[in-house]
Structure 1
Amino acid sequence: MDMNQYLSMFIDESNDHLQSLNESMMGLEANPEDLSIVQVIFRSAHTLKGMAATMGFEDLASLTHQMENVLDLVRNNKLKMQDFIFDTLFKSLDALESMVENITAGGEGKADVSEIVASLQAIVRGEVPSASGAAPAASAAAPATETSMALDEFQFSVLEQSIQEGHQVMYVDVSIRKDCQLKAVRAYMVFDLLERSGEVVKSFPSVQDIEQEKFDYGFSLYYITQKAAPEIQAMILNLSEIENVTAVALDQESLRQLGQDTAAAETAATAAPAESAPATAAPAATANVSAAREEGARTAPVKTGGAPSRTIRVDIERLDVLMNLFSELLIDRVRLEQLASEVQNGDLTETVEHMGRVSGDLQNIVMKLRMVPVDTVFNRFPRMVRDLAKSLDKKVDLIVTGAETELDRTVIDEIGDPLVHLLRNAVDHGIESIADRVAAGKSETGTVHLRAFHSGNHVFIEIEEDGTGIYPQKVLKSAIKKGILTEEQAAGMSDDEAYQMLFAPGFSTAEVISDVSGRGVGLDVVKSKISSLGGNVTIYSTPGKGTNFSVQLPLTLSIIAAMLIRLGSEKYAIPLSSIVETGIVQQSKIRTIHGNRMVEFRNTHIPLVSLSKLFSVADFDESTEEETEIVVVRKGERLVAMAVQDFIGQNEIVIKNLGKYLPEIQGISGATILGDGQVALIIDPNAFIK
């Protein structure tokens, strides 16, 4: 079978399961006694193993199988979670992620995981990394191959509910003749036969072990069907090379008794290794108590009445195509509105108005299709902060709020790396060492808040920590030392301006270069990336108390509201999100200060930029007019006035890329097509404020 057609689905679902495993492991580390979390982790690992084995990625399946062995001991109370076990499982997850990344890049998912596998196997054997450490709870337990076939709570409830609904639940024991040459094939034929008439809930040994012929000449299973036990027995005996079959129908009382018996056998197994072969009533089992068809199939006979899934996966490229098509539709709609106003035909105007309402609703839906919750980015940070704090020997709590806040996919794709830098900066530079925190009268554990929330047409993402805070004089001193500032420049700087020096290329306050920080690479990347997205970063800090990095981002980068302006024969668009206000200024009120043209605005003076001179517009010169229209734009706390000729009006515009053939033009972020077919350049206010 050609599996390539399923590859993209495998990659998507593998990433989902790996993310779920990381989140669940973090939850388990906080509550090591919560076995319900272990069940969730086991199911995700088991599903991932089955998918990988089906797709032929044996290394991935093998490593997940070893993780299952450890998790199985934990969920059956044979092993207590300890720090070294968590570290080994987290390393396993990292290895699995790198394998999936390799598969995504077109590789075969191969990796040398022998060291991790050896560590996992040592945990199963009950060994600890150091001789002085206490042996884990499994040390006295039987080897993984000799634990009993006990039902977990979920499996027991499935069988019990099936009996209540009138299904036949039975325990089946099958023996294959000793002279059988292909016992795994014969076992497969038994499973195939049984699954035509019901569902296998649990098998011993596991299906994977049976497929690899890692079993003697017998196996056992719990089975749900509508057929009677003698009929099942006869069906299996009809297969060749089957020596003996025992099928025992279970009622609720015997099922309960069996559960008690196997639990008792399991307890006994922890005290002394069992040496006998599997018995019919309470068979011994391997630690691999999962069948390949266990997770999905076993719930089939239980009619839960759950609602069907209401979501589907859509390729991102299809959404981009849909967005482009709608962009063209929006351009035509504006053109039709212009024509209707010129023709003054009632029927045409009414039709165009209706089309405008419909396309407005369509625009909202298209925009919402592209909106993605920020938790797709946030969900990888708890694990990252945990590992970073451990490497720095710090205690850090990451508190995430507003993860359901939605952003356009294009923004989501770009925002991950800047947030990684900010979080690493918060944990490394912000949060003090345990000794320093105690000396300062703080708790040993530092807190980092990661928040997201809507405000107007923007989304704000804040990273706030209760660490040492930023000392402006220390920042300026470091900037002078690195030659970024002169002492004269530093003398006249405010605290806010000093904070902005953190974003200067090559700047760092770290005394020692480490693998975490100190090279002056990070915050400058954050600043440039967020600026390219049309956002900005603001720093709020109280020395000794903590620091807040606030990132402001636009909701979308595809369709924006803009003010259209005219310069001679040319038209330009200015994003409304950057505009503070518009106005008119008399030529006589324009001042020249240190060679820069300035205008008075709200009891202060701000720079005046001539767009016509900047863009070399030949047929307009505002200096010849008595009064000039201005647009005041803001970036953070800074304001700039831009001189224009006329205001055309407000409109929704579709942002188009200038393409590869036009060089990057200073002050221009893109272009849009207007209703009359003209191209209007979109002005980037950030460039003027820089």
Structure 2
Amino acid sequence: MDMNQYLDMFIEESKEHLQAINANLLLLENDPGNITHVKEIFRSAHTLKGMSATMGFEDMANLTHEAENVLDLIRNQKLMITSDIMDVIFQSVDLIEGMVIDITEGGDGSADVSGPVKKLRAIVAGEFTAESEVAAASAVAIEEEAPAEEQIVAGEQDLDDYALMVLKQSKELGNNLMWITVTLNDNCLLKAARSYMVFDQLESLGEVIKTKPTVEDIENERFETSFEIAYVTMHPADKIRSAILNISEIQDVKIDPIGLKEAQLPVPAVVEKVETAAPVKKEPDAQQAPVRKQAAGGKTIRVDIERLDILMNLFSELVIDRGRLEQLAREIGKSELQETVEHMSRISGDLQNIILTMRMVPVEQVFNRFPRMIRDLQKDLNKKVNLEIIGAETELDRTVIDEIGDPLNHLLRNSLDHGIESPADRKNAGKPEEGTIVLRAFHSGNHVFIEVKDDGAGINKDRVLKKAIERGIVNPAAADSLTDKQIHELLFAAGFSTAEVISDISGRGVGLDVVKSKIESLGGSVGVESVRGQGTTFLIQLPLTLSIISAMLVQVQDEKYAVPLSSIIETAVFRKDQIMMAHRQKVIDFRGRVVPLVSLQDIFQVPASDSVQDDEEVAVIIVRKGEKMAGLVVDSFIGQQEIVLKSLGKYLVNVFAISGATILGDGQVALIIDCNALIK
């Protein structure tokens, strides 16, 4: 029997069972006497074992079988749960998840399961203790002390002081330092694409410190067939080599350890934080699985997400044609035609709502991965943290869901590593030893808000300001005039960090500026509020969908532009004598607030037209980003319309203040204005 036809179903079912196992393991760890959780875990493990054996994934079936034996003893109250036993079960689940990911990416799902199997069998035999585990680890360490390979000396690779400092501190944290030489096949056509796949794989297992040639040269294919990488990871060289060789068109991978000489190491007065990437388990990608939809009778159907994408694209074309028909009906003026078009518009509007609803997925799909992550990290950091998840049923477009996992992962790690204090510090501050991180999602208008809130130490604004001045981000003369909120926003500056030592928990080599860039690329925004000693809150605002949006069409000379309604507070008409000047900037008084004016004709350099009359009044759209506001000066308002958001393509990726384009009913193209960029 050809089992490939069942592969997609196996992958999806496996992910669901693994999610259930992880969730119930966390509940069991907090309530060891509750056999209900054990029964749920056993049921999922038993199903997973049968599925993997049927599909021919023997390593997964064997490991799951051994874990099932341990769970059976716990279920029948013949084995008492301990922290060490829970750790072994969690490690086994991690390995099974890794196998499922490998299968998802086209692998055979094989892995070395001998270590976990040996531990699980020892638990069943009553021979497993924490002491035996330590002894086994020591034996492995002695065994691994083989004669050292020939080392690459860091200084000989022209590494700058910054890179050397990263390597030194990473070495102190127990990371492996590697110099990797990757050679592509001579006939490789897309060298940049293969290089990107190599970096993507490496960044999931550690941190790339430096490349030869530069990253820019590699992206532009300015190299022959090989490139070199200074790399930091907790994983052994064999695993890294194997991960790279799994990528097609890779001819050879050479890995040498990097040696450091004391004379090479810089000694700065203040060691800046370099967030070295920790080996983070790669989460299953939500995009791989079909979307499950609930029917009225309580039944569900599985719909492949590619079909939903095709349906959405087809409907987008229908929306464009609908606009064209509406305009033609107005021009022709025949009542029967107008009635038919109006009826079609109502029906297509209902159809639009149904299609958008089909694409909506609960954020629970992303949130569910975080309790396990927090559980592992608090043990690594010797902190006590309770993660509260609120509003997991809140729904977002699947396209947005696919993209928010990494930003939320970064913010949660940041809260745990830098926000929540140690139990001793919390006790001295009069707080409970256990900190709290709240992950909350909720709807408001056409947006979804996601909040990451901790009750930690809060942001030290003096320290932030000092570091910003050192980095040249803030002029010392202007520092005293900054408000607390403006100082907090400095955290999102490129490469900004206040930590004095490397942390392998938060960051993964990137700063909060990357979080902000990702959120803004989704049409959203992120802000931060903090009270010293009480905690910090990051608030993310996201659009419900990225495909079809409501917009206000405006005329600027002979050009038409679309302004998303989600950014608009109000449209208004002002007399020219109401426009004032402040700091050489035109401003208006809008409900008691001074709002700067931005002329779209000037910003986009639209040529003047004879058809546009110079009146005594100006049309203004008041837009907002957070607490900041601006008035966009246009010639006239055309009206509100549902528009299909289209990308400008890879050749027009950096057009200022333009987020895309749409096709209007008359066939013209209208550019969509990015109000966030204008206000910024």
TM-score with structure 2 setting the length: 0.73
Q: Which residue identity does 1:13 align to in structure 2?
A: E
User: 1:593-649: per-residue Cα shift (whole Å, max 9, x none)?
Assistant: 444443333333333222112222113499955432111211111111111111000
Give the match for residue 9 of structure 2: 9
Q: Which residue identity does 2:550 align to in structure 1?
A: A
Say which of 488, 492, 512 aligns to 2:481: 492
Say which of 325, 338, 345 aligns to 1:336: 325
Following the alignment from structure 2 to structure 1, what is the Cα–Cα distance between the partners of residues 360 and 530? Answer: 32
Following the alignment from structure 1 to structure 2, what is the Cα–Cα distance between the partners of residues 544 and 338? Answer: 59
Q: Tell whether 2:534 aligns with 1:549.
A: no
Q: Which residue identity does 1:459 align to in structure 2?
A: V
Following the alignment from structure 1 to structure 2, what is the Cα–Cα distance between the partners of residues 43 and 536? Answer: 42
CA contact (8 A) 2:458 2:531 kept: yes
| Distance change in 2, residues 1:663/1:131 (3 Å) | closer
CA contact (8 A) 1:540 1:548 kept: yes
Shift of 1:488: 1.6
Give the match for residue 83 of structure 2: 83
Following the alignment from structure 2 to structure 1, what is the Cα–Cα distance between the partners of residues 438 and 444? Answer: 18
SS of aligned partner of 2:303: coil
CA contact (8 A) 1:510 1:517 kept: no
Shift of 1:519: 7.8
Give the match for residue 619 of structure 1: 608
Q: Tell whether 2:663 aligns with 1:660.
A: no
Q: Tell whether 2:521 aligns with 1:539.
A: no
Please say which structure displays the higher CA radius of gyration. Answer: 1
Alignment of 1:403-482 (within 5 A): 403-482=392-471
Q: Which residue identity does 2:38 align to in structure 1?
A: V
CA contact (8 A) 1:506 1:519 kept: no
Following the alignment from structure 1 to structure 2, what is the Cα–Cα distance between the partners of residues 130 and 326? Answer: 60
Shift of 1:520: 7.1
Give the match for residue 626 of structure 2: 636
Q: Tell whether 2:666 aligns with 1:684.
A: no
Following the alignment from structure 1 to structure 2, what is the Cα–Cα distance between the partners of residues 45 and 520? Answer: 35
Following the alignment from structure 1 to structure 2, what is the Cα–Cα distance between the partners of residues 107 and 669? Answer: 38
CA contact (8 A) 1:667 1:684 kept: yes
Instruction: Give the number of aligned pairs.
Output: 518
Following the alignment from structure 2 to structure 1, what is the Cα–Cα distance between the partners of residues 424 and 477? Answer: 37
| Distance change in 2, residues 1:339/1:35 (3 Å) | same
CA contact (8 A) 1:507 1:520 kept: no
Give the match for residue 225 of structure 1: none
Q: Which residue identity does 2:307 align to in structure 1?
A: R
Alignment of 1:235-314 (within 5 A): 310-314=299-303
Following the alignment from structure 1 to structure 2, what is the Cα–Cα distance between the partners of residues 418 and 535? Answer: 12
Q: Which residue identity does 2:602 align to in structure 1?
A: K
| Distance change in 2, residues 1:660/1:334 (3 Å) | same
Shift of 1:344: 2.3
Following the alignment from structure 2 to structure 1, what is the Cα–Cα distance between the partners of residues 602 and 94? Answer: 55
SS of aligned partner of 2:650: coil
Q: Tell whether 2:125 aligns with 1:125.
A: yes
Q: Tell whether 2:557 aligns with 1:568.
A: yes
Say which of 483, 491, 514 aligns to 1:525: 514
User: 1:479-521: per-residue Cα shift (whole Å, max 9, x none)?
Assistant: 2233322322221100000110111111112221021137872
Following the alignment from structure 1 to structure 2, what is the Cα–Cα distance between the partners of residues 127 and 561? Answer: 65
Shift of 1:576: 0.5
CA contact (8 A) 1:562 1:650 kept: yes
Q: Which residue identity does 2:502 align to in structure 1?
A: I
CA contact (8 A) 2:496 2:511 kept: no
CA contact (8 A) 1:513 1:519 kept: no
Alignment of 1:46-57 (within 5 A): 46-57=46-57
Q: Which residue identity does 1:491 align to in structure 2?
A: D
CA contact (8 A) 2:323 2:665 kept: yes
Following the alignment from structure 2 to structure 1, what is the Cα–Cα distance between the partners of residues 305 and 37? Answer: 32
Give the match for residue 669 of structure 1: 659
Following the alignment from structure 2 to structure 1, what is the Cα–Cα distance between the partners of residues 342 and 298? Answer: 37
Give the match for residue 30 of structure 1: 30
CA contact (8 A) 1:632 1:640 kept: yes
Q: Tell whether 2:636 aligns with 1:650.
A: no
Following the alignment from structure 1 to structure 2, what is the Cα–Cα distance between the partners of residues 101 and 317? Answer: 20
Following the alignment from structure 1 to structure 2, what is the Cα–Cα distance between the partners of residues 26 and 561? Answer: 43
| Distance change in 2, residues 1:365/1:388 (3 Å) | same
Following the alignment from structure 2 to structure 1, what is the Cα–Cα distance between the partners of residues 112 and 508? Answer: 31
Shift of 1:131: 4.0
Following the alignment from structure 2 to structure 1, what is the Cα–Cα distance between the partners of residues 498 and 377? Answer: 19
| Identity between Structure 1 and Structure 2 (%) | 62
Give the match for residue 72 of structure 2: 72
Say which of 344, 352, 357 aligns to 1:355: 344
Q: Which sections of structure 2, spanning at least 5 residues, go unmatched?
A: 134-295
Following the alignment from structure 2 to structure 1, what is the Cα–Cα distance between the partners of residues 338 and 615? Answer: 38
Following the alignment from structure 2 to structure 1, what is the Cα–Cα distance between the partners of residues 650 and 604? Answer: 20
Q: Which residue identity does 2:618 align to in structure 1?
A: T
Give the match for residue 283 of structure 1: none
| Deviating 4+ runs (over 6 angstroms) | none
Say which of 576, 579, 591 aligns to 2:568: 579
SS of aligned partner of 2:302: coil
Following the alignment from structure 1 to structure 2, what is the Cα–Cα distance between the partners of residues 309 and 99? Answer: 33
Give the match for residue 231 of structure 2: none
| Distance change in 2, residues 1:91/1:578 (3 Å) | same
Give the match for residue 262 of structure 1: none
CA contact (8 A) 2:623 2:629 kept: yes
Q: Which residue identity does 1:125 align to in structure 2?
A: A
CA contact (8 A) 1:632 1:641 kept: yes
Shift of 1:549: 1.1
User: 1:354-379: per-residue Cα shift (whole Å, max 9, x none)?
Assistant: 21221111111001001100000100
Q: Tell whether 2:335 aligns with 1:371.
A: no
Following the alignment from structure 1 to structure 2, what is the Cα–Cα distance between the partners of residues 637 and 121? Answer: 60
CA contact (8 A) 2:410 2:506 kept: no
| Distance change in 2, residues 1:480/1:341 (3 Å) | same
Larger RCO of the pair (alpha carbons < 8 Å, separation 6+): 2
SS of aligned partner of 2:495: coil
Shift of 1:455: 0.9
Q: Which residue identity does 2:674 align to in structure 1?
A: D
Give the match for residue 559 of structure 1: 548
User: 1:311-332: per-residue Cα shift (whole Å, max 9, x none)?
Assistant: 1111111101111111111122
Q: Which residue identity does 2:678 align to in structure 1?
A: F
Following the alignment from structure 2 to structure 1, what is the Cα–Cα distance between the partners of residues 88 and 602? Answer: 64
Q: Structure 1 residues 639-648 or 625-634, which shifts more?
A: 625-634
Q: Which residue identity does 1:497 align to in structure 2?
A: Q
User: 1:299-321: per-residue Cα shift (whole Å, max 9, x none)?
Assistant: xxxxxxxx986111111111011
Shift of 1:661: 3.5
SS of aligned partner of 2:529: strand
Shift of 1:592: 4.5
Following the alignment from structure 2 to structure 1, what is the Cα–Cα distance between the partners of residues 75 and 511? Answer: 42
Q: Which residue identity does 2:548 align to in structure 1?
A: I
Following the alignment from structure 1 to structure 2, what is the Cα–Cα distance between the partners of residues 650 and 552? Answer: 23
| Distance change in 2, residues 1:353/1:519 (3 Å) | closer
Give the match for residue 323 of structure 1: 312
| Distance change in 2, residues 1:37/1:518 (3 Å) | closer
Say which of 396, 401, 407 aligns to 2:385: 396
Q: Which sections of structure 1, spanning at least 5 residues, go unmatched?
A: 134-306
TM-score with structure 1 setting the length: 0.72
Shift of 1:468: 0.9
